[in-house]
Structure 1
C-alpha cells in the first residue's frame, strides 16, 4: 500500500513535514504516510500521523517497521481497529512500531494472528505478567474440551497459548516495560504452565488406555504411582530466555508395580509395567510440547541432562536416580542440578527428588579433582568457541559472556554451598547477592557482575527475538548490526561493539582471576568467607 502523491501536497501533509523535518530525507515514508491518510481519512488522522512519523523515525529500523505495518494492515480483517486504538492511546504507536522494527519473529506472528495485536495493546502490554494460578486457569479454559481432544488438537492449543504469551513477554521486553528478571521469570512460568497442562493431558490419555499405575509403598499400602517433571538449567532457575530449549528430566515413584488395566473401545487391555507407562508418558509429553505445527513448537525440549544422556532411559524411578548419582555422578551433573526444580506433576515426589540430590550437589567438601574438572569443562568450551571464531561475538559462551558469570557463581556454590546453606539459590542474581552478603567479594564486584549479567541477558533476548531462533552470536550483516546498535542508543556498529568488548573484558578479567588462580579446595579457616 503506497500512496501516489498529488502534484501539490495537501496542507495537512505540508504541516506534518514541517513538524517532522527529518521526513524530507525519506520520500518513501512520505508516500506511505499519504497512503495511510487515504486509508483512514477521519478528521483526527493528520494529528495521529504526525505523531506516527516522529515515532517511526525513532525506531531502530524505520523502513522495516513501516513494511511490517503495511503488511499487517493488509492481512488484518479490521485494520481500522488498530487505528482507533492508536487514536485513543497514542503511546501505543511506539509500542507497536518498536515490535515491528526489532523483531521479524513477532511481526510475522502478528500477521498470522492479526487479532493478537489488539489483545496485546488493550489487555496485556501494560499489565504485570499473570500469576501462575491465573495463567494456568486461562490455559485450562482454552483446554476445557481437552478430554475430547486428540493429542494433535491439544498440542495446537498449547502452541497457540504459548506463542500469544511469548508475544506479550517479548513486547514488554522490547519496550522496556519489564526488567530482565521479570521477563525471564514470566517465560519460565509460561513453560511451567504448558508442561503441567501437557502432563495432565497425556496422563488422561494413558490412564484411559492402560489404567492408573500403582505401587506398594513402604507401609505396604497400594497407591497411585506419582510422576514429576524436573526443570533444569535456565528453566529451573526461573531464568528462561526468549528462545531457549527447556531442559527436563522425568522421575516416578517406583519400578515396582503395574497399571490397573483398562477397557478401551469395549476391549480389555492388560496392565503394563510402571516403567513402560512412564516412558510412554515421557515420550508423549515431549511430543505434545516439542512437536512442530503450523506456527512451530510450544517449546523445544532437551532431555540430555538425564542420567546417561541420550543413551539413558527417558524416565527413571526415584531410587534409580539415587543409585546413578551415588555411583556415577559427575561434577558437571552437580552443576546442572544446582538449578533443578520440580515444575509439574506430583509435588510430593518432586520434594523427595530434591532431598535425594541435595547431598550429591552440595557436598561438604569439593576436592581438587572436582575443581580441576570444572576448570577443564570451561577450557573445553573456550576452545570450541575459539575454533568457531566466536570468542568475542558469542554473548553466552564467549569470553566475558553469560556463562562466565554463571560459572563464577556456581563454582562458589559448589565449593561452599554444603557448609553455607544460604548460598543454595537457583537464581543467578539472587545467588550473587547472597555471595556478596556472605563476604565472598565486595559490593563493587557484585554490582559489576550484576550489571554485566543484566546487559548480556537483555542482549541475548534482542538477538533471539529477531528471528525467534536459539542464537547467542552477534550479527554479521551490516543492516542487522546497525539495527542492534540503534537499539542500544549508538550511532554506529563500531561504537556499540567497542562498548560490548569493554563490558565483556571486565567480566573476563574477574573470572580469570578467580577461575585460573584463586580456586582452591576449602580446608582451613582462611579459605572461608569473611564476616
Structure 2
C-alpha cells in the first residue's frame, strides 16, 4: 500500500512510515490491512501515539475497526472493565489492564472521530463515559487492597466529584481529570482480625480515605511502561495544594461557607458525581448549591467577577509574550487556543459569568455542558441568536482543533505548532488546503469570540492620566517650549521608529495651530489637533499618520469648514487617523473636500446595491451637475470601500466587484442622461469587463450601436468621454481608454454590431481576440436585445477564430509586454507585469479559454476567477492547479490593491521597507514569510507558464 501527496490524508508521509513499520513487524496482516486501508491509513496519519500502540497490538487495531458501533454508555464500559479485573490480584497488573483498556477504547473513539462517524458532542461524551468507567472501577479495585489491610470504614463511603471538562462530560483526548473527594463523616475502619483473634490496623476515616486517594491517584496517573490512565489534578480542592486530599461532607460545607472564593464557585458550576457513592455525590451537590448559586447578587460579587476577568486577562497576556504579532502562527497573539485570545476558556468563562450572576434566580441556567448552557442562555433571552450561533460554532471549531493537536502524541497541549510544515498538516486535519487559509479562518473566529467575550463586562478603565493630550504633555503645545528634549523620551513609549523624523512632523503640526485665520479657528485647532496627534501616536503606523496629518493640519488651519465638521463629530478623528496611517491615496481624496469627510460619518459604511448607487447619483447630479456628481460618487465609494477593505470587512474580490459596479452605474446613468437615440451602448473591456477594477483604475471601453451609428450617437459618446475625463480641481472622474475599438485610435469612435463582426472575423489580431474575452455590455436598460446580440456575436467570433491561436502567439505577446513595459528589476517586483505576475497568470487562463472554447463554450466568461472555476469544472484544469491559480490571483490582487492605496506601483525586495511591512501586517504574516510566499507563487506561475 503506497500513499502519495494526493491520497487525501493530512500527513501521508507519517501514515506511510507507520504502515511500513506495521507490516515489517506483522507481515501476516498485509491482506487484512488492505481490507481496512482507509481506516488504518487515516488513523496512522492522525495519531502517532495510537499507531505505536497498534504496531505492538495488531489484534486490537482490527478489533477496533470491526467494532466502531460498540456501546459507549458507562454501564457497559463498567461491566466490561470489571470482567477484565475480576481475576487480577496485583496493583501492577491492574494498572496494565486499565491502561490497555483506555487505549483500546481510544482507538474506537479516535476512528469514529477522524472518519467523521460521530459529531464532537458524541466524541466528548464517549471520552467522559470512558473516564467515568475507569474512575469507578479503579476506585473499587484500589480500595479492595486497603480493605484487606485496614478493614471497611463503618457506615461510611467516598464519592469522586468531577469538575472541569469531565464534570461537564466534555472531556478531550489528553485532558487532566479535575476531581475532588468527599466522604460521609468521621469515624474509624473496622480493622482486621489476626490469627490470635485480635483486631488491628484500625485507623480513622480521614486517614483511611487519605491513603485511598493517594493510592488511587498513583494508580491512575503513574507513568508505567504502558503509559498512564489519566493525569489527576487535585488542585481545585479547598486550599489547593496545601489542603487535605479528602474532606468529610461537613468539612466542605464549613469551608465554602466561610472561605469560599468566586473562582471556586466557578469551578463548582460543573461539579458532577463521577464514581463511588453516587448518593453521597448528590448530597455534596445539594450542600454546595447555596454557595454556588446565590439568590441575591450584590455589587461586591459583580466586582469579584470583574476582577476574575482581569486576572484571566493578565494570565493570557503572560502566555502570549514572545510571539511576533505579524507571524501567522502566532496570529498576532498567543498560540494557545485554550487560554489565549479568543480561545476555549473565554467561551466557557462567558457562560460561567451568566451562571454565577443569574443561576440563583434562574435554575434553568444550571447546566454543566457548554452547548446546553448556551441554549438555555438563548432561551431565557440573555444572549441573541447571533451570539449563540457564533459561540456554539466556534466552540466546536476550537474543541475539534484541540483534539487534533492532542491526538498526535497523547500530549496535553493547546498550542499551535510554530513550524510551517506542521501547520500545513494541522490545517489539512481541520479541512483546509493550507496553513494560511486555516490561520486566517482561526484568526477570524478568535476575533469573533473575543468581541462577544469583551461585550459582557467592560474592561477595567485605566486610571486618569496626568497628561492632557495622551502621550504628549500639554507643555508641548506651548510655542515657547523647546521640542526635542521634551519629545524624545515621550515618543520612545510609542511605536515610532524614527524619532527625529516624528519630531519634525510634530513641529510642523504644532506650528499650524498658529497659522489660524480667525480667533474661532484657533480655538477649534487647539481643541482638534492634539486629539488627532494623540490618536495617531496610539495607532499601528504612527509615522504614516503623522506625515498625512502634516498636510491635513495645514488645510485645517486655513479652512474652518473642515474644523466645524470634525468639531461636531469628534468620532471622525479615529476614522481619519486610520486612513492616514494606511493609505496615502485615500488620504489625498479626504483632504480634497469637507464633503468627503462628511461622507464617512453620514450614513452607514457598507456595500450598496446598484439601485442605491443610481439613486444617490441622481440626487448628486441634481445638486452639483453631472461632472461633479460622478466624481463625488466615485470618491465617496472609494473611501468607504477602502475603509471596509482595510478593516478586513470585505475581501479584495468583493472590493473589485463593488468598485466595478460603481463604475457601471456611473457610466450607464450618465449615458442615459446624455443620449438622444436609443441605440448607443457601452462595452467594457479589460478589468472593468471582468469586474476587477481597483483604486484609480483606467477604464477600457468601446461604443456600439445595433445598426449603423448616427451622428447623434457619436456626439453622445464624445460628450460622455469629455465629462468623465475633463480636468477639474478634483481631478478627472475616470481615465477612459477607447483604443480597443476596431482599428484602434484610427478607427471610428462608435461601431455597429455588423461592423464589429466584420472586423473581428477578418482583421482582428490575436491580442484583440484575447481582449475580447473580457468584453461585456454595461448598460442594461432598453438594450436587452442589443446586449444579447453582442454576447452571441462575441461567442461566435471566439469559437470560429480560436483554432488560429497558438501558444507561440501568446508567448510572443507576453514576452514583448514584459520586455517593453515591465518595471521589475533585481531589487523590485512588478506584481502586474513582472515574471510570474498577474498578467502572466491571466494569459494562462485566457489561452486555456481560447484553446478550449470550441468544445466548451461555457468557459467564455469575463472574470479571471470565474474563468478558472469554469476551466476546473470542465476538467481542463486540475483541481490542485485551479486552487493554486485562484489563491495566487487573490494574493496578487491584494498586494496590487495595497500598493495602489499607498500610491506605489512597484514593490521593493526589502523585508524592512514600510510598504512590505504594511502588506505583511495586513496579511497577518511576517515580512520574511511574505517575501518567501511571493517568491514561491511567482516561481509557480512561471513554471506553470513554461509548461
What range describes the TM-score normalised by the shorter chain of this pair? 0.7 to 0.9
Q: Find the partner of 1:494 among 436, 453, 470.
A: 436
- Shift, 1:101, TM fit: 1.0
Aligned counterparts, 1:215-230, within 5 A = 224-230=155-161
- The residue aligned with 1:371 is 302
- Shift, 1:252, TM fit: 0.5
Q: Find the partner of 1:163 among 81, 103, 125.
A: 103
- The residue aligned with 2:245 is 314
- Shift, 1:247, TM fit: 0.6
- The residue aligned with 2:792 is none
If asked which structure has higher relative contact order (CA below 8 Å, sep 6+), I would say 1
Conserved? CA contact 2:65–2:111, under 8 Å:
no
- Shift, 1:77, TM fit: 6.6
Structure 1 residues 292 and 517: alpha-carbon distance in aligned structure 2, compared to 1, 3 A threshold = closer
Q: Find the partner of 1:483 among 415, 419, 425.
A: 425
- The residue aligned with 1:343 is 274
Conserved? CA contact 1:75–1:114, under 8 Å:
no
Return the alpha-carbon distance in structure 2 between the equivalents of residues 264 and 352 of structure 1.
37
Q: Find the partner of 2:188 among 222, 235, 258.
A: 258
- The residue aligned with 1:419 is 361
Structure 1 residues 492 and 279: alpha-carbon distance in aligned structure 2, compared to 1, 3 A threshold = same
Q: Find the partner of 2:83 among 121, 141, 145.
A: 141
Return the alpha-carbon distance in structure 2 between the equivalents of residues 516 and 415 of structure 1.
15
Unaligned runs of at least 5 residues, structure 2? 322-332, 461-947
The answer to whether the aligner puts 1:297 opposite 2:228 as a matched pair is yes
The answer to whether the aligner puts 1:382 opposite 2:313 as a matched pair is yes
Q: Find the partner of 2:388 among 414, 433, 446.
A: 446
Q: Find the partner of 1:69 among 7, 19, 22.
A: 19
Question: Structure 2 length as normaliser, TM-score?
Answer: 0.46
Question: Structure 1 length as normaliser, TM-score?
Answer: 0.81
Aligned residues: 448
Return the alpha-carbon distance in structure 2 between the equivalents of residues 380 and 210 of structure 1.
45
Return the alpha-carbon distance in structure 2 between the equivalents of residues 187 and 423 of structure 1.
24
- Shift, 1:163, TM fit: 1.4
Structure 1 residues 152 and 77: alpha-carbon distance in aligned structure 2, compared to 1, 3 A threshold = farther
Structure 1 residues 81 and 316: alpha-carbon distance in aligned structure 2, compared to 1, 3 A threshold = farther
- Shift, 1:295, TM fit: 2.2
- The residue aligned with 1:96 is 40
Q: Deviations over 1:67-96 (max 9, x none)?
A: 11111112237323523xx43xxxx42222
Structure 1 residues 265 and 386: alpha-carbon distance in aligned structure 2, compared to 1, 3 A threshold = farther
Q: Deviations over 1:388-426 (max 9, x none)?
A: 326342111111111111011111011111101011011
Partner of 1:472, secondary structure, is coil
Structure 1 residues 307 and 157: alpha-carbon distance in aligned structure 2, compared to 1, 3 A threshold = same
- Shift, 1:194, TM fit: 0.6
Conserved? CA contact 1:385–1:398, under 8 Å:
yes
Conserved? CA contact 1:364–1:419, under 8 Å:
yes
Partner of 2:302, secondary structure, is helix
The answer to whether the aligner puts 1:80 opposite 2:39 as a matched pair is no
Q: Deviations over 1:451-494 (max 9, x none)?
A: 01000000000011111111001111222111011222323211
Q: Deviations over 1:289-321 (max 9, x none)?
A: 111111210000000000010011111000000
Structure 1 residues 152 and 71: alpha-carbon distance in aligned structure 2, compared to 1, 3 A threshold = same
The answer to whether the aligner puts 1:330 opposite 2:261 as a matched pair is yes
Return the alpha-carbon distance in structure 2 between the equivalents of residues 386 and 412 of structure 1.
24
Structure 1 residues 114 and 128: alpha-carbon distance in aligned structure 2, compared to 1, 3 A threshold = closer
- The residue aligned with 2:677 is none
- Quick check: 53-62 or 152-161, which moved more? 53-62
- Shift, 1:377, TM fit: 2.7
Structure 1 residues 265 and 206: alpha-carbon distance in aligned structure 2, compared to 1, 3 A threshold = farther
Return the alpha-carbon distance in structure 2 between the equivalents of residues 404 and 66 of structure 1.
39
Partner of 2:458, secondary structure, is helix
Return the alpha-carbon distance in structure 2 between the equivalents of residues 378 and 474 of structure 1.
24
CA RMSD of aligned residues (A): 1.9
